[in-house]
Structure 1
C-alpha cells in the first residue's frame, strides 16, 4: 500500500489561471470568453439592483410614475441583458464545449503516456494514473462555470451596487464598499486551509483508487496465499485514511465557516442599522433605506457562503495540479537528425545507468556486442542488471554515460515509433487485453488481415487450441488473459511478436513458469520466431541457452564473462559455478522424486 504524501502546497491564483487555460487547450478562448461573460453578467445585475434605489425614491412616499417607469424599464433591461449574457456564458457547458474539452484533455494525457519515459511511469501506481485520467479531468471543468457564476454574483454584483450607491448617498456607498470587500481577506485567510484540505483529499482518493485496483487485480494471489483478510485490512486502512481526511476537513472547517457566515451576516446587519440611524436623524430618505434592505437581503446568503464556493476552486486546483504534473513530464530527448539503421547488430558501449533514488549504478561501464542473426543469452544473479540491459535497448530510459546502438546508430537518434518497430518482446508474464484473441494478436500490426493473423498463430503453434475454443479467434480472453492457460497466453504473445516481424527479438525467460507440455509447445513457437533475427534471451535456467551463439554473464552491472557454453564451462568461472549449482539441484530433485 502507498505511504502518505507530504503536505501539499498552495498554488497561486495566477498559476491556477495559467493551468486552467492550458488544460482548456483549443477551447481556451471560448472558456476565457465565458468567464469574462459571467463577470459582465454579474456587473449588469449589480447595475439592475442599483436601479432599486432611484425607483423606490420615485415610488415613496407617493408614486411618481413618470420618474419610476424609466428606472423600472432600465432595471428590467439590465436584468434581461444579465440573463442573456449569463445564458451565453453557460453555453460552454450545454453547447458541448466542456465535453469536447475533456475529450481533448484525456486525448492529450493519453498521448503523453506514450511519450513519458517508462522508468518514470513505473514509479506511478495504476490507480493514480487512472484517477488523473478520469477523476481529475472531470473535476477540472465540471463545476467551474457554475461556481464561477456564483462567486461573481457574490463578489462583483455587490461591489457594483456599492459604487452606484455612492451617487445617491456617499455614506452608505462607502459603508457598503467597506463591508463587501471583507470577502477578500476572509477568503485569503481560509484559502490555505481549504487548499491543503482539498489536495489531501485528492491524494487520499487517488491512494484509495490505487489500493482498490491493486486489491482487485491481486485477489487470486491473495486467496492462494490465504491472506485475503490481511490485504483487506490494508485496503480498509486506506478507506479509514480517506474517512479521517474527510472528517478532519469537516471538523476543522465547521468553526471557521460559522465565523465567516456570522461576520458577513453581522456586516449586513450593520449596514441596516446605520441606514436606519440616518433615516431617524433625517439625513437619508426612507426610500433609500428600503431599497438597501431589499438589496442586502438579496446578498445575505451569497456573501455568507462565498468562501464555501471557493472550496470548489481548490478542488479544481488540485485536479489541475495532477494534470499539469502528468503533462509536464518531459519525453526522452531525440537526437537530430533522426536516423534509421540498415543492419541490426546491437552494441552497448561503456554504458552506465543508475535508477532514480538509488546510490549504486545498476550498469557500470558495461560493454557488449550482439551480432546480427545471433542468439545472445544474458545470465546472472537477480538484480545484476539483465533486465535493465533490455530496457535501455527499448529506450525505457537513457544511460547516464555511454550509448546503446543498433546497426551503429544510437537509439537516441531513432524515432520512438521506428525503434518500437525494430524490437519484439516476449515477456515471462504475458499481458493480454480483455478483447478477442484476434484483436490481441493483431495489435502488433493493426492493418494485418485475418489471414496474416492466422498465419502468425499457426507459426506460433496456437492455431489448433484457438479453433477449439467456443468462438475461435473471436473468443475474449478475459482480464489480463485470465481465461487462458499460461502456455496458451505465451503462445499468443509469440504469435503477436511473429506478426510484428521485427528484426530484433527479446525473450524474457518465456518458458520459466510453464509445465513440460506447454514448454515444449512454446519452445517450438520460439524456434520459429527467432529464425534469422537478432535475439536476446534473459535466462535463469541455463539448460535452455546451452546452444546460444554467445552467453554474457552479468554481475554487478558488468559483463564478467562472455563466450559459448562449452567455453565458459572450461574456464571454470562464474558461469561454471552457476551451471554446477543448477545441475546439483536437478539431481537432488530427481533423487527426491525417486525416493
Structure 2
C-alpha cells in the first residue's frame, strides 16, 4: 500500500512522505523499546532489590517522553500529508481527465469517476492521517518486541515469531477476499450512481409516457445489487476479523502456557514471567488492531489502485514541439475508425478547402459527428491521417491545435453562471464589449433581454433556465468570440426557430468568408449556401462537389435533396 501511496502522490511529495514514515517508524521503535524496558524494570521491582529498578524507570521515562514528542510531530505530519494528498489528488485527477481522449468517457466509467473523485479520495485521505500510523505501530512495535524477546528467552521469542507468521498468513488470505469484494462493490456502486442520474434525467420522458412506476425497475435493480454488494463485503470481512482475533488470542494463550511451564520448570523466574507476559500482551494488542483495520486497509489499497490506474491511463501522445502548419485547410486521408468493433469510417478521404463553408451530408450513423471529433482530436483514428494545414494533428500540441479550431455541437453544456460568463468561455481575456458583440451576432442579446438581470442573469446548472435553441446560440457565440481560423459546426441551427435560424446562417456565412468552416448539415438552406458538399455513406465519401453539380449527377445527394424537400412540405391535417 505504501508503494501505491507514493505513486498516487507523485515524486514532488516523496520527501514529505518519507519524512512522515521516518517519524512514524521512529515513534514505533521508541514505543517498542519502552515496552522492552518494562521487563528489566519489573524484574528488579518484583525481585529482591527494588532500588536497582530506578535506572530502568528513568530510562523508561526518557523513552516515553521521546516517543510522545516524535509521535506528536508524526501525527501533525500525517494530518498535513492527508490534507495535501486530498488537494493534490483532486488536481491530478482533474488534469488527467482533461487529457483523456473522448472515447474513454463511456457511460459505465462516468459514475465510477464521480465516486473515485469523492469517496475514494476521502478514503485515501485517511491513510496518512490515521491508517498509516496505526499500520506502522501494528507492525514495527511487535517486531521490536519479538527481537527483544530473544534477549530474555529464545523459546518465547520463537513462539512469538511463529504467531507473527500465522497472523500474516491469515491477514493475507482474508485480505484477498475483502479486496475482491470491494472491487465488485465499487463497480456496482458506480452503476447505481449512473442509474440514479439516468432516472433523474429521464423524468420528462417517463412522466410523458406514464412510466413513473415501471421506470423505477432499472434503478431498483441497481440499488438491490448495491445492497447485495454491501452484504458480500461484510461476509468477506467478518472471517478475517474473527480469524485474526482468534490467532492473536491463541498466541497469547500459548505464550501464557509456555511461560507458566517454564516458570514451574524452574528455568524462568516468577518476576521475569510477569514481565515477559506484559511484553507478550503488547505483542498481541497491535495484532488485534490489524484485525480491526484490515477492512479499511484493503478498501484504501483498492482506492489507491484505482486512482493509480486512472493516472496511468494512456493519453493521446503529443510532440515536444508542434510542426508549423501551412494554411488552415483540413484533410482526412484513408481514415478508419470504429466503436467497440463496429466500423464507422472505412477508408474515408475528403478535403475541407480553406476559406469556405463545406457541408457534410449523410444518413444517421454515417460518421458525420465522428469526423468533427477527429479533426478536433478528441481521439485518434485506427488508421489513416487527419491533417490541418498539411500537418497531421498528432504532430500538433493540444494547445496549438485548439488555438486553430472552434467546435459547436448539438449537445451544449452551460456552466452555472451568467449569460455573459458562459459566452466568455470562448475567450476568457475578452472585453465585455467583445463578448457582447459576439453574443449579438449569435442573437444572444434576445436571451439577455428576456431574462431578469439581462447579461448578468444566471442560466442555471447545465443551462436549465434556457431552451435548447438558446443554449445552442450561446455555444455559437462562444465560437464567434474565440475567433479561430477553423470552425466546426455540428448542425448548429437544428434547435432554432426560423427567424433565428436565418440570423445564424448569416453569421455562419460571414465566418466562411475568411475561415475554414465545416458544418454537419441537414437544413436545405445550409446545403444551398455551402461552397463545397461532401456526401458520406458506408464510412466513405461517395460524392463531392457544389449543390447544382451534385443535383445534376442524380446520385445520393440528389436523392437526399428530394426527400428533404418533400419532407419540408409535410403538414399535420385534422381528420374529420
Q: Which residue of 2 aligns with 1:193?
A: 177
Change (3 A) 1:494 1:359: closer
The Cα shift of 1:416 comes to 0.8
Q: Which residue of 2 aligns with 1:49?
A: 35
CA distance in 1 between partners of 2:83 and 2:517 (Å)? 47
Alignment of structure 1 residues 408-419 onto 2, 5 Å? 408-419=390-401
CA distance in 2 between partners of 1:415 and 1:158 (Å)? 54
Partners of 2:417 and 2:458 within 8 A in 1: yes
Alignment of structure 1 residues 220-235 onto 2, 5 Å? 220-235=204-219
Partners of 1:201 and 1:245 within 8 A in 2: yes
Gaps of 5+ in 1: 1-15
Partners of 1:379 and 1:539 within 8 A in 2: yes
- The counterpart of 1:70, out of the listed 39, 45, 55, is 55
Alignment of structure 1 residues 248-259 onto 2, 5 Å? 248-259=232-243
Partners of 1:344 and 1:534 within 8 A in 2: yes
Q: SS state of the match for residue 364, structure 2?
A: coil
Q: SS state of the match for residue 430, structure 1?
A: coil
The Cα shift of 1:492 comes to 1.3
CA distance in 2 between partners of 1:528 and 1:484 (Å)? 26
Partners of 1:377 and 1:538 within 8 A in 2: yes
Q: Which residue of 2 aligns with 1:519?
A: 501
CA distance in 1 between partners of 2:237 and 2:331 (Å)? 61
- The counterpart of 1:534, out of the listed 491, 505, 516, is 516
Bigger Cα displacement from structure 2, 440-449 vs 206-215: 206-215
1:592 aligns with 2:576: no
Q: Which residue of 2 aligns with 1:358?
A: 341
Change (3 A) 1:535 1:263: same
* RMSD, matched Cα: 2.3
- The counterpart of 1:494, out of the listed 476, 493, 515, is 476
Change (3 A) 1:80 1:480: same
- The counterpart of 2:422, out of the listed 415, 440, 452, is 440
Deviations 1:342-361 (A, max 9, x none): 42111222222233x3153x
1:24 aligns with 2:9: yes
Q: SS state of the match for residue 23, structure 1?
A: helix
Q: SS state of the match for residue 191, structure 2?
A: helix
Q: Which residue of 1 aligns with 2:558?
A: 576
CA distance in 2 between partners of 1:427 and 1:574 (Å)? 25
Deviations 1:143-162 (A, max 9, x none): 34422222333332223223
Q: Which residue of 1 aligns with 2:19?
A: 33
CA distance in 2 between partners of 1:594 and 1:341 (Å)? 61
Partners of 1:127 and 1:207 within 8 A in 2: yes
The Cα shift of 1:294 comes to 2.8
Deviations 1:416-446 (A, max 9, x none): 1121121112222221111111111111111
- The counterpart of 1:240, out of the listed 224, 246, 251, is 224
CA distance in 2 between partners of 1:23 and 1:324 (Å)? 6
Deviations 1:542-569 (A, max 9, x none): 4531221121110011111112222222
Aligned residues: 575
1:205 aligns with 2:189: yes
Partners of 1:434 and 1:479 within 8 A in 2: yes
Q: SS state of the match for residue 426, structure 2?
A: coil
Q: SS state of the match for residue 529, structure 2?
A: coil
Partners of 1:508 and 1:539 within 8 A in 2: yes
Change (3 A) 1:540 1:227: farther
Gaps of 5+ in 2: none
Q: Which residue of 2 aligns with 1:483?
A: 465
CA distance in 2 between partners of 1:513 and 1:503 (Å)? 25
The Cα shift of 1:509 comes to 1.3
Q: Which residue of 1 aligns with 2:75?
A: 90
Bigger Cα displacement from structure 2, 403-412 vs 525-534: 525-534
Q: Which residue of 1 aligns with 2:296?
A: 312
CA distance in 1 between partners of 2:330 and 2:86 (Å)? 43
Bigger Cα displacement from structure 2, 551-560 vs 70-79: 70-79
CA distance in 2 between partners of 1:557 and 1:103 (Å)? 45
- The counterpart of 1:134, out of the listed 104, 115, 118, is 118
1:283 aligns with 2:267: yes
The Cα shift of 1:321 comes to 1.8
Partners of 2:174 and 2:236 within 8 A in 1: no
The Cα shift of 1:335 comes to 4.5
Q: SS state of the match for residue 385, structure 2?
A: strand
Partners of 1:117 and 1:397 within 8 A in 2: yes
CA distance in 2 between partners of 1:60 and 1:584 (Å)? 107
The Cα shift of 1:222 comes to 3.5
Q: SS state of the match for residue 51, structure 1?
A: helix
CA distance in 1 between partners of 2:517 and 2:505 (Å)? 14
Deviations 1:319-362 (A, max 9, x none): 1222122211222223465124242111222222233x3153x2
The Cα shift of 1:214 comes to 3.1
Change (3 A) 1:212 1:299: farther
